C-alpha cells in the first residue's frame, strides 16, 4: 500500500544546496574544543556563528557489520590515547526512502553528535540534555538531515537563559534493524533499531557529563517514527525505568503506534511478519538454507547483496515490511496492555499531533464515492462486525472530516475522491490521534504529568487538500525559519503579516519545548502573552483533558477541550488490542 506520506516527503528531498548550506553552519574552527569520555578524547569544532561547540560522528557502539550484523548492538570495548577528530557527521544508516536521497548511507552507522553552547566548558552547572531521535517510518532518514539542525533550538535555549545540550543519534533501519519472523526471534535479532537507541542512551548516561551535560536531566524527543521510538523506550522491558531519561517528547507518534494501517490487524506479533523475512532470504543466495541456518547465512553475505534484497523487499507497495515486534523482552507485550496497567516509565510527557494527520496516511489509490466503498476499504484494517459501527462513527459529512471546509474549501474538492475527508479523519485517528489521546489518558490516570497539543497551521508549499498534515510542526519546533533543508521553505512566500505570525509561533513552540526539556514544564518559555498550557487531567477534568492549539490565526494559539471525534477515537482505543492488535 502506497501512502500519500511519500508524496509529501517528495516535497522535502534534500537538494545539494540545502545540504551545503547546513554544512556551512559548522563554520571554521578557531579553537578546537576537546572532551574526554570513557574510552578516549575527541576534538570538535567551534562554530562562531552560533557560539557553539560541535562534536560530530562519535561512535556509541561497535560497528554492526560482519558477524555483528543482525545482532544486539555491542558496547565499545577499546580505548585510544590520541585525540580523535569528531568533526564530520557519520553516514545515515542504510534506508530505502526519499529522506535518504543525497546522503551517504552505510551499514556502519551507530554514531551520535553533540551540540552544546560553547560556554558550557567553563560553566560549573551541568546542562539539561535533549536527545533527538529522527523519524522516517523506521525505514529511512538520519539525524544529520539539515531539517533537524539543533543549532537553532540550542541557541534559543541560551537566549532564554535556559541553556541545554542537543544530542542526535543514528539507529539501524528497515530489515537491518527490524527483522521479524521466528528466525529473528530465536536469534535475538528483533527490535535492533530500538536497542541501538537504548545503547546510545546508556552511552549518554556514561559520557554526557564530559560535555557539560547532566545525566540526570535527559529528555528523549522524536517525531513520527522517532516519536514511536520514544514511546517504545517508555514501554521497553515492560516499562522498566533504567534511569536513562527523565522526560519525553513525542510529535505525531508515541506509545501504541503502528504507522502502516494495512499491518494493524497483524499487530506486533513477530510471526505475522514471517513472510517478510522469508522474502528477504529468498532474494539472496541464502534461499536454499534452512530456518536454523538462514540468519547466520545472511550475516555472511556481502553488504551489496543484502542491500539489493532489501531494496526489493521494501517495495513501494509494501513500504513498512519491517517494524517492531513483540519479543517478550524489549517489546514485552502489547502497548495498550502496558498503558492500562501503568507499565511505562513514569516521566513527564509532551505529546501531540497535527490537525490533518490523516491526509498523510490514506492510500493514494482510493477512489471510493459511496458508503459501500468506504465499508469495503475498512475491511482491510478491521473485523467485519466493526465496519457498520465505524461507518457510523466516521460519517460522510465533509464538515466532520479533514481537512475542514475552512482549510480546504468544498468547491476545490474535485481534485480528491468524494470520501477523501472521511478516509483522512479515520486513518489519522487510527494511526496517531487515538493513540495520542490514549497516552495522555494513561499518564493522567496513573498520576503522571503530560501535555497535549494540536498543531493547526498550513505551511507554504503544502496544498490545502493536505491541510495541517504530518511533519509540518517540525520546522516550528526547531525554529528553522530559514527553511534549511527544505526544497520549498515552509516560511516562504508569505505576506509580511503572515511572516510575523509564523515567526512568533516558531519562537513560542521552540521555547516551550526548551522549557519542557529544561524544567519539565512547557510554560516557562518567557514569551509574553503566551497561553498557559494545562497539564492533561482526565481525573479532575470530567473525563477529558485539554490541548493547546498552535495557530497563526487572528487570536493566536489557544487552549481547547480534547473532545474532537471523541466517539470514534474512544472506539479505537477501547478496541486497541481486540481489533487493532496493539
d(CA 554, CA 86): 46
Instruction: For the chain, give the mean pLDDT.
Output: 91
Whether residue 582 is contained in a domain is answered as: no
Q: Are 235 and 332 in contact (CB under 8 A)?
A: yes
Half-sphere exposure for 109 (CA within 13 Å, toward CB)? 27
d(CA 349, CA 347): 6
Whether residue 391 is contained in a domain is answered as: yes
Judge if the upstream peptide bond of residue 403 is cis by omega within 30 degrees of 0: yes
pLDDT at 14: 40
How many C-beta atoms surround the C-beta of residue 553 within 10 A? 11
Backbone angles phi, psi at 248, to 5 degrees: -145, 140
pLDDT at 413: 82
161-199 tens-digit pLDDT: 999 999 999 999 999 999 988 999 999 999 999 999 999
d(CA 71, CA 89): 24
Is position 554 annotated as part of the catalytic site?
no
Mean pLDDT of 101-120: 96
The active-site residue out of 224, 252, 515, 557 is: 224
Backbone angles phi, psi at 216, to 5 degrees: -95, 10
d(CA 234, CA 228): 10
Q: How large a percentage of the chain has pLDDT more than 70?
A: 90
pLDDT at 370: 82
The active-site residue out of 223, 357, 473, 546 is: 357
Whether residue 464 is contained in a domain is answered as: yes
Whether residue 399 is contained in a domain is answered as: yes
pLDDT at 283: 93
pLDDT at 294: 97
Whether residue 363 is contained in a domain is answered as: no
524-575 tens-digit pLDDT: 999 999 999 999 999 898 889 999 999 999 999 999 999 999 999 999 999 9
Whether residue 537 is contained in a domain is answered as: yes
Tally of domains within the chain: 1
d(CA 289, CA 273): 19
Q: How large a percentage of the chain has pLDDT more than 90?
A: 78
Angle between helices 420-428 and 371-378 (to 10 degrees): 30
Is position 412 annotated as part of the catalytic site?
no
Residue carrying the nine cell digits 513514569: 346
Show the domain range for 225: 5-357+369-574
Which residue, 495, 494, 497, 506, is CA-closest to 551? 506
pLDDT at 2: 32
Whether residue 579 is contained in a domain is answered as: no
Mean pLDDT of 292-308: 97
Q: Using the predicted structure, report yes or no on whether residue 457 has a pLDDT greater than 70.
A: yes
Q: What is the CATH number of the domain that holds 431?
A: 3.40.50.1820
Three-state SS for 7-73 is HHHHHCCCCHHHHHHHHHCCCCCCCCCEEEECCEEEECEEECCCCEEEEEEEECCCCCCHHHCCCCC
pLDDT at 390: 96
d(CA 78, CA 139): 30
Whether residue 362 is contained in a domain is answered as: no
Integer CA distances (angstroms), 170 to 93, 105, 136, in order: 7, 11, 12
pLDDT at 119: 86
pLDDT at 143: 97
Three-state SS for 132-197 is EECCCCCCCCCCCCHHHCCHHHHHHHHHCCCCCEEEEECCCCHHHHCCCCHHHHHCCCCCHHHHHH
Residue carrying the nine cell digits 535527559: 218
Question: Would you give the end-to-end CA distance of the chain in angstroms?
Answer: 20
Amino acid at each position: 500500500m502506497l501512502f500519500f506520506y511519500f508524496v509529501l516527503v517528495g516535497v522535502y528531498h534534500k537538494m545539494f544546496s540545502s545540504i551545503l548550506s547546513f554544512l556551512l553552519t559548522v563554520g571554521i574552527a578557531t579553537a578546537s574544543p576537546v572532551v574526554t569520555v570513557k574510552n578516549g578524547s575527541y576534538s570538535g569544532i567551534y562554530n562562531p556563528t552560533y557560539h557553539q561547540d560541535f562534536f560530530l560522528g562519535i561512535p556509541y557502539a561497535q560497528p554492526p557489520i560482519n558477524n555483528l550484523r543482525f545482532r544486539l548492538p555491542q558496547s565499545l570495548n577499546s580505548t585510544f590515547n590520541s585525540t580523535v577528530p569528531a568533526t564530520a557527521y557519520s553516514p545515515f544508516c542504510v534506508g530505502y526512502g526519499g529522506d535518504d536521497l543525497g546522503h551517504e548511507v552505510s551499514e556502519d552507522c551507530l554514531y551520535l553528535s553533540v551540540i552544546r553552547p560553547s560556554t558550557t566548558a567553563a560553566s560549573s552547572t551541568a546542562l539539561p540534555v535533549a536527545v533527538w531521535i529522527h523519524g522516517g517510518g523506521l525505514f529511512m532518514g538520519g539525524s544529520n538531515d539539515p531539517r533537524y539542525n539543533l543549532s537553532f533550538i540550542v541557541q534559543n535555549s541560551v537566549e532564554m537563559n535556559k541553556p541545554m545540550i542537543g544530542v542526535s543519534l543514528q539507529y539501524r533501519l528497515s530489515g537491518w534493524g527490524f527483522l521479524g519472523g521466528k528466525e529473528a526471534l530465536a536469534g535475538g535479532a528483533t527490535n535492533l533499531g530500538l536497542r541501538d537507541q537504548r545503547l546510545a542512551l546508556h552511552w549518554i548516561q556514561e559520557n554526557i557529563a564530559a560535555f557539560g551535560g547532566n545525566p540526570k536531566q535527559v529528555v528523549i524527543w522524536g517525531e513520527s517514527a522517532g516519536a514511536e521510538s520514544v514511546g517504545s523506550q517508555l514501554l521497553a522491558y515492560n516499562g522498566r525505568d533504567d534511569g536513562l531519561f527523565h522526560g519525553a517528547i513525542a510529535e505525531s507518534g508515541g506509545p501504541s503506534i503502528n504507522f502502516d494501517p494495512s499491518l494493524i490487524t497483524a499487530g506486533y506479533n513477530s510471526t505475522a511478519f514471517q513472510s517478510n523475512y522469508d522474502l528477504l532470504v529468498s532474494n539472496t543466495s541464502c534461499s536454499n538454507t534452512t530456518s536454523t541456518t538462514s540468519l547466520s547465512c545472511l550475516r555472511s553475505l556481502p553488504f551489496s547483496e543484502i542491500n539489493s534484497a532489501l531494496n526489493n523487499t521494501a517495495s513501494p507497495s509494501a513500504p513498512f515490511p519491517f517494524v517492531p515486534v513483540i519479543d517478550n523482552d524489549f517489546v514485552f507485550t502489547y502497548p495498550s496492555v502496558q498503558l492500562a496497567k501503568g507499565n511505562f516509565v513514569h516521566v513527564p510527557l509532551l505529546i501531540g499531533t497535527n490537525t490533518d494527520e490523516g491526509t498523510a496516511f490514506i492510500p493514494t489509490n482510493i477512489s471510493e464515492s459511496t458508503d459501500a466503498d468506504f465499508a469495503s476499504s475498512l475491511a482491510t484494517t478491521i473485523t467485519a462486525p466493526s465496519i457498520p459501527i465505524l461507518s457510523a462513527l466516521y460519517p460522510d459529512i465533509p464538515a466532520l472530516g479533514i481537512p475542514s471546509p475552512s482549510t480546504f474549501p468544498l468547491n476545490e474538492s474535485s481534485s480528491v475522491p468524494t470520501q477523501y475527508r472521511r478516509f483522512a479523519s479515520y486513518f489519522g485517528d487510527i494511526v496517531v490521534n487515538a493513540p495520542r489521546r490514549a497516552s495522555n489518558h494513561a499518564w493522567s490516570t496513573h498520576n503522571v504529568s503530560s501535555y497535549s497539543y494540536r498543531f493547526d497551521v498550513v505551511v507554504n508549499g503544502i496544498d490545502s487538500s493536505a491541510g495541517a498534515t504530518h511533519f509540518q510542526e517540525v520546522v516550528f519546533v526547531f525554529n528553522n525559519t530559514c527553511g534549511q533543508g527544505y526544497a520549498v521553505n515552509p516560511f516562504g512566500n508569505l505576506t509580511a503579516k503572515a511572516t510575523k505570525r509564523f515567526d512568533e509561533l516558531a519562537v513560542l513552540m521552540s521555547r516551550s519545548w526548551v522549557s519542557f526539556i529544561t524544567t519539565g514544564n512547557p510554560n516557562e518559555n518567557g514569551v509574553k502573552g503566551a497561553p498557559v498550557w494545562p497539564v492533561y487531567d482526565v481525573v479532575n477534568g470530567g473525563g477529558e483533558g485539554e490541548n493547546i492549539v498552535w495557530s497563526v490565526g487572528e487570536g493566536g494559539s489557544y487552549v481547547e477541550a480534547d473532545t474532537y471525534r471523541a466517539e470514534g477515537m474512544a472506539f479505537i482505543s477501547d478496541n486497541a488490542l481486540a481489533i487493532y492488535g496493539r
